[in-house]
Amino acid sequence: MNIAIFASGNGSNFQALVDDELIKPHVKLLVCDKPNAYVIERANKEHIPVFLFEAKNYPDKEAFETEILLELRGLEIDLLVLAGYMRLIGPTVLAEFPEQIVNLHPSLLPAFKGKDAIGQAIRANVLETGVTAHFVDAGMDTGPIIDQVKVAVNEADTVDTLAEKIHQKEHVFYPKVIRGLIQNGGND
Ligand code: GAR
């Protein structure tokens, strides 16, 4: 199974995925939409090719997703793993990868969809939140859920302390989910 990881920022989840010995050999590409994202340095260190694009250089999403598709086809990618990719996947890519795109979201979906899920949880004064892995459909954080893990919220938690706890959970949880998909999908 050939995997492309999509990320826009720091890439701590990208790192957790490629630090997993079972997952690493399957990771053939990083797709990134931000030229200054630290995840690009991480990919370079790991000798993983990077496809970098900037949305502003294309007339619309269909145009840049068409280029992404060419890259994915060239590397015979089977699974797209979103790890902090801060864009909605559009119909151009979705049509070619039905139930083959996985997203990581920092809440117990369906709670706190969309941006700033951690801030939303703090402002809602919930006692627990968590992390969800789900297949991507045309909606925002709406596709079929694969697995979830809970994270307790203390009264003293701020967005920063909760984000730290959530990241720590994600770095164990997401590789476990992706290992499961690789094992179910065969190892070729
Ligand atoms: C992660 O917490 C992930 O759950 C979140 O972005 C962060 C990326 O961190 N994703 C979303 O909010 C998607 N809507 P990282 O760059 O350190 O992996």
Q: What is the pLDDT of residues 38-52, one digit of tens each?
A: 999 999 999 999 999
pLDDT at residue 185, as a whole number = 84
| pLDDT at residue 105, rounded to an integer | 98
114 is in an annotated binding site: no
Q: Give the atom of ligand 1 at the shortest distance from the alpha carbon of 14.
A: 18
Is the predicted pLDDT of residue 27 greater than 60, yes or no?
A: yes
Q: What sign has the CA pseudo-torsion 39, 40, 44, 45?
A: negative
Q: What is the mean pLDDT of the chain?
A: 97
Q: Has residue 187 got a pLDDT over 70? A: no
- Average pLDDT on 5-26 reads 98
Contacts of 61 (CB under 8 A, 6+ apart): 55, 90, 92
Mean predicted confidence (pLDDT) in 63-72: 98
Q: How far from each other are the two terminal CA atoms of the chain, in whole angstroms?
A: 5
pLDDT band at 186 (very low <50, low <70, confident <90, very high): low
* 106 alpha carbon – ligand 1 mean position (Å): 7
Whether 107 has a binding-site annotation, put simply, is: no
User: Which residues are marked as active site?
Assistant: 105
From ligand 1's centre to the CA of 59, what distance in Å? 27
Pick the residue whose CA is nearest to atom 17 on ligand 1. Answer: 12
Task: Please give the pLDDT value at position 2.
Answer: 98
Q: What is the pLDDT of residues 119-156, one digit of tens each?
A: 999 999 999 999 999 999 999 999 999 999 999 999 99
